[in-house]
Amino acid sequence: MPSSDDRSTVRSERINHADVYTSSIYTRASAHISSSIISKFEALISSDNSGEFMAFLATAEVCDSNASHLASGDLRVLHPVFQIYGQCRAFSGPVVTLKVFEDNVLVRELLESRGEGRVLVIDGAGSMRCALVGGNLAQLAQNMNWAGIIVNGCIRDVDEINGCDIGVRALATHPQKSGKKGIGEKHVPVYVGGTLIRDGEWLYADSDGVLISKSELSI
């Protein structure tokens, strides 16, 4: 008849085998998780400058559950013309509007102020002749806690911008810097991406697109 020590050894071996079997099943299951699911999950999670994680609304789900707001215009979808830059693929916040043309002095002035999680929407009239935002301004925006920047125009220093913990959308890239005359208008309605955007409205962006809401949406 086996001793108590022998029985304990058998039980221990069975437990170890069960652990290995369970771990093997988990590993195989994890390997089959769709990369698109993982990407979507990562897009919905972002970290602010304090290191705390924040959840964001998925734009597709917002559209699916807010048909009446889309119909009324309280919720609008920007035309899919923007390229994605920066480390934050998903971001949101109250909008600060700026209207300029091939001149980024006012862009710097606004980004030098405390962002407090806001999003700067720059109407550069869609100019393809110079860049309105570069690596230095993207780094400044990150340091001042801006959530993101939307540029109806071009940016440059893409590798630097892609290294910044901020979300950036722009039409294209251009190596030439803009003018420095300081001409433009702050906090005025701007027409970007096929819709009128007002200062103080809310912007939601992720890998699927960019939304403008008349008011803050609930997570």
**Does residue 14 register a pLDDT over 50?**
no
Report the range of poorest mean pLDDT among 40-44, 60-64, 85-89.
Answer: 40-44
Nearest CA to 214 among 198, 193, 191, 194? 198
Q: How many CB atoms lie within 10 A of CB 32?
A: 6
What is the model's pTM? 0.77
Q: What are phi and psi of 60, to 5 degrees?
A: -65, -45
Please, which pLDDT band fits residue 38 given cuts at 50, 70 and 90?
very low
CB 216 within 8 A of CB 83: no
DSSP 215: S
CB 171 within 8 A of CB 128: yes
Please, which pLDDT band fits residue 33 given cuts at 50, 70 and 90?
very low
Question: Residues near 128 by Cβ (< 8 Å), separated by ≥ 6?
Answer: 153, 154, 171, 172, 174
